[in-house]
Structure 1
């Protein structure tokens, strides 16, 4: 036999690109060995699994091969299940059954069941289960384990448990799959019971359980399990750090990261991005800077995901300039990198710069995705760039053939609504090709709140009540609109309705980083040393603002039917004022005070921040629920358009 085909096979191991693989394919065609099932199977395997963006070619190769075998079909099924279109695995399995005499084997069912799980199709999963029964694979350990996992992934924990109970000797993967299924359905109690019933556990089991607790927000249980683990590997540390960060336990996330360093372990990509995510959410820029230095010294600054996390961290902590420096120094920029930079500029109100970065991205040949356009439309809506926003919305569909999602439609409603074109916003909602969901109506309600349109607000609230009757934010918005209009009877009706339905208003809080420690302030919270210090400093600040800045409380911001004096008292206790005052008390040498807030900043606080920046010659950066406000010398970056 000619040695060329075998030489080509040996080249497969080093083949990394579509172009190189096609060259090997061409060599096989020249020698005539492309029609040999062994070599054809190897080709399909590398096209479908090894080389990215070559699945379409693998499918063509399979369809042109005269008598494909089970290995070839299984390879294509596997390739699709790991792609963005796992449903094509199911279609390939159907083709296998209809167009050939090849019988599926255990690998066929394991791969296609995993595809049904990834696609989230319980109906397809049940049909495949029936096929497995017909072909006698229901008792196969590998297939049975995948069935348990599939039912769990598709939200049918009852079937998952039943199948598990019927297994004669479930392996470790089956045990892990069944308590993971419980977690997916929110049944934490069952997950714990099954976990502690396991006759044997390894580090994978412990980490799966740890991840389940973290995803469910049960961080106290996660922490307890973590310290019970005899062996803690990279996955364990990454899971606990990311879990605390994603659940808002920022100090704990930072503490675990420091502990990771203290025990002499090297943080991996996941733990670094996890703790940077915590810095982003908490606004902990000083800790973020320390991590940046650590990343540079550790020699991991080449990792794109870590750089993306740094860009996001700096942008969300109010240092969009530093975000730009990191972005420009990146050796490789992914679509996430470009989108993160665009989003960062958008949050800071730099809409024109965001559009310029987008144009640069296009010039580099990077194709934008749906998220990129969400960030661009968000930038336009927060800067009042209506024409540019409409143009980008059309461009998304006409140039890039990206079908708008509910997020894009929401941005367009926001674009019109913020600018005061409420009727145009309502008409846009009415003409949408998809049914408007709660996000769309809530966006319109928010615009009505800004511009005081009671009639349209009531209409939007009625639609929201049909979709999400238990959401407190909608009732609060409507109540606020009535309060601004002085309709106190209507305010009382809405709040009484909230009490009857046991709907609680989300309390406002603000956070500030001082000496790498996060301090959280809540209006009218119980007194402690930090709040006492904040109130004392705030009293001094407000007195000076009245004298030197001409401050007059905007009592219209108080949405309660009380006298003027009490309204002023309520205004003075807003959490962002307390956080800024505490920062000014502790950070006397700093020229920038950074605060993160969970709700939208009120007009009175906005005015106070502008006056503080002018009277005290400080720069204040406040990140509220929707954007950044950078106050400097008596003005704000939002130009009072927010």
Structure 2
């Protein structure tokens, strides 16, 4: 009878222990390791399986030290215990501890060896894994698969293939891995032979083969394979869709997307990116708006699509919406928005993104620093850009180029030259981009002799061969200084063929200095190179208008209509309370505050008249009366943006305006006076450079 009771008790304890082991494992997997430990401590009889469970539980929760202490307390251990110790260390990326435990094992089985090989592969220690693999006394399908998968991850596909061919038995997992590895290397036909030789294939095998064809731009073959798949999953559909988008076949992708029974997030994201790359922003946004669930890649893809295709306002609005939804922006999204902030001079958003980068410790990255500098430069905050530059002890050439370009765009030639001369002593040699930046700085600041010396010595001093961009900067530099004939001689002596930027620089200088003779030569060249570009027509028309040659202006306009050449409309932007407002010439009719803006324009006109302002109508390209010319000038987009800034921004806050074209002479003169009569600082960034207006003066000193 006692024997029966003992057996029953032992059976009960064993059953209790098994149930407890299950509970401990379940709690550990959900992070409730303390609850699991309480159950363990409450047991009077602890079977070896229960000990193994609590050790594994600690490892599963990243508590390797506690796991080892429990292992050492075990009254007895079996091979499962030792395998759990080795595997636990491997899961916690503690490869040395795993190897020490492996060496201490009293006995090993195929699981022990395979776990150790897998650990080495996981850490990228493929040579160590290979050495251990060949020492294995016995191998199973898992061992072989782990090893040749390690070769594939290490880029050793030929070694993987040799090992695969040596396998005594090739299961579906091994064959699928080999197919995927070959496809990544572009060896799709070889992968297909393995696929065709397989007796058993699962849906993962089919999907891997389809993905391989898609990755290698053989989507038609992929589609044929997709059509004969015995079973299709959400992943299969998505893989086929990605093949179309990767190959740029967006129309096929769109049709396929519409046919999908389920549209997972990854498929929607692919369509957003695909539509975005093709510039079909309405379709991309439609997909975005219809999504019931979005991940970070969704927001990132839509923001990036807007940013790349010039939809900066939409990108900024979407970033605001993203924040309102409580979505934490990813690093690529932040970089995209920084670029947008620079383009739109959206300083408030730019500062906000900068703060986020600091909190996430991204600001210590040299690439991020360069993007931040560019953003601050484009927002007119050169001092902030310099602070970012100065805090980096080891700067790369991109950072040096960014600060020199920043000084150039603000007309600070002296400062740009100082930084440029410091570069070599810092261990960073100027490159071709640096030379373009410093030549631009010299051009905008009128430092012609310094610029010419750099241009003439760039090959001998910095081993940089002059390119068309360097010639263009030097032509612009000479032209701005009124040395038109020298600029023309330089073009005639160029070692490379002059392009549109070179002739455009010369034509712009001819307009400034009223050289109609050479302007006509430059314009003719531009008409040949870029017949659809309206710029040369407008510049030549402006020169003719300044001389009241209205017949020639009319003829140029007729040619523009005949050739269907359209002038790019002028547009200006200003940020008010994190919202960017855009204005076109005369474009306040649909603005919700039209009446207030009109009143401000009237007020400004009165102040300007009292200050002695006289409109410069020489560049108005219409033969109309003086009153209409003046009205035309007062409605230029930059004047409207400045008026709105005066209306909305409090005193002491600089008014920051961006214009997509070069500011005209009359607006430049008017804004100088506006800064004086209103006692406001106005920062205008046009297509070429910055103008800081304050107390009736401009930072460009009228040399622009």
TM-score by length of 2: 0.68
Structure 2: where are the runs of 5+ without partners?
1-98, 100-118, 128-150, 161-178, 197-205, 230-235
1:258-269 mapped onto 2 (5 Å cutoff): 258-269=320-331
How big is the shift at 1:615? 2.0
Residues 1:530 and 2:596 aligned together: no
Q: 1:454 aligns with which of 501, 516, 534?
A: 516
How big is the shift at 1:136? 8.6
Tell me the residue number matched to 2:678: 616
Take 1:289 and 1:406, find their aligned partners in 2: how far apart are those partners? 36
**2:210/2:226 contact within 8 Å kept:** no
Tell me the residue number matched to 2:75: none
How big is the shift at 1:390? 2.5
Tell me the residue number matched to 2:288: 226
Residues 1:291 and 2:342 aligned together: no
Take 2:646 and 2:433, find their aligned partners in 1: how far apart are those partners? 38
Tell me the residue number matched to 1:638: 700
Take 2:273 and 2:519, find their aligned partners in 1: how far apart are those partners? 41
**Secondary structure of 2:618's match?**
helix
C-alpha spacing 1:234/1:440, structure 2 compared with 1 (3 Å)? same
Q: 1:176 aligns with which of 242, 247, 254?
A: 242
Take 1:259 and 1:310, find their aligned partners in 2: how far apart are those partners? 22
Take 2:184 and 2:351, find their aligned partners in 1: how far apart are those partners? 46
Q: 2:454 aligns with which of 369, 376, 392?
A: 392
**Secondary structure of 1:518's match?**
strand
How big is the shift at 1:166? 5.9
Q: 1:593 aligns with which of 655, 665, 673?
A: 655
Q: 1:544 aligns with which of 607, 612, 617?
A: 607
Residues 1:517 and 2:583 aligned together: no
Please tell me whether Structure 1 or Structure 2 has the larger radius of gyration of its CA atoms. Answer: 2
How big is the shift at 1:144? 8.9
Take 2:244 and 2:549, find their aligned partners in 1: how far apart are those partners? 55
Take 2:540 and 2:382, find their aligned partners in 1: how far apart are those partners? 34
Q: 2:343 aligns with which of 258, 269, 281?
A: 281
1:103-142 mapped onto 2 (5 Å cutoff): 111=185
Tell me the residue number matched to 2:530: 468
Q: 1:437 aligns with which of 481, 487, 499?
A: 499
**1:110/1:142 contact within 8 Å kept:** no
Which deviates the most, 278-287 or 140-149? 140-149
Tell me the residue number matched to 2:85: none
Take 2:266 and 2:532, find their aligned partners in 1: how far apart are those partners? 39
C-alpha spacing 1:12/1:638, structure 2 compared with 1 (3 Å)? farther
C-alpha spacing 1:195/1:439, structure 2 compared with 1 (3 Å)? farther
**Secondary structure of 2:363's match?**
coil
C-alpha spacing 1:301/1:500, structure 2 compared with 1 (3 Å)? same
Q: Deviations over 1:320-343 (max 9, x none)?
A: 111111222246533322222111
Tell me the residue number matched to 1:410: 472
**1:180/1:209 contact within 8 Å kept:** no
Structure 1: where are the runs of 5+ without partners?
4-9, 17-23, 25-44, 51-67, 73-104, 114-128, 152-159
Count of paired positions:
538
1:32-431 mapped onto 2 (5 Å cutoff): 111=185, 173=239, 175-182=241-248, 189-197=251-259, 203-330=265-392, 333-431=395-493
Q: Deviations over 1:54-106 (max 9, x none)?
A: xxxxxxxxxxxxxx99569xxxxxxxxxxxxxxxxxxxxxxxxxxxxxxxx99
Tell me the residue number matched to 2:22: none
CA RMSD of aligned residues (A): 4.0
Take 1:509 and 1:629, find their aligned partners in 2: how far apart are those partners? 17
**2:342/2:378 contact within 8 Å kept:** yes
Residues 1:554 and 2:616 aligned together: yes
Take 1:12 and 1:333, find their aligned partners in 2: how far apart are those partners? 36
How big is the shift at 1:620? 1.0
Q: Deviations over 1:300-327 (max 9, x none)?
A: 3323333322211111111111111122
Take 1:544 and 1:147, find their aligned partners in 2: how far apart are those partners? 70
Q: Deviations over 1:358-384 (max 9, x none)?
A: 233322212333322222221111112
Take 1:476 and 1:71, find their aligned partners in 2: how far apart are those partners? 65
Tell me the residue number matched to 1:626: 688
How big is the shift at 1:598? 0.8
C-alpha spacing 1:175/1:556, structure 2 compared with 1 (3 Å)? same
**1:521/1:531 contact within 8 Å kept:** no
**2:576/2:649 contact within 8 Å kept:** yes
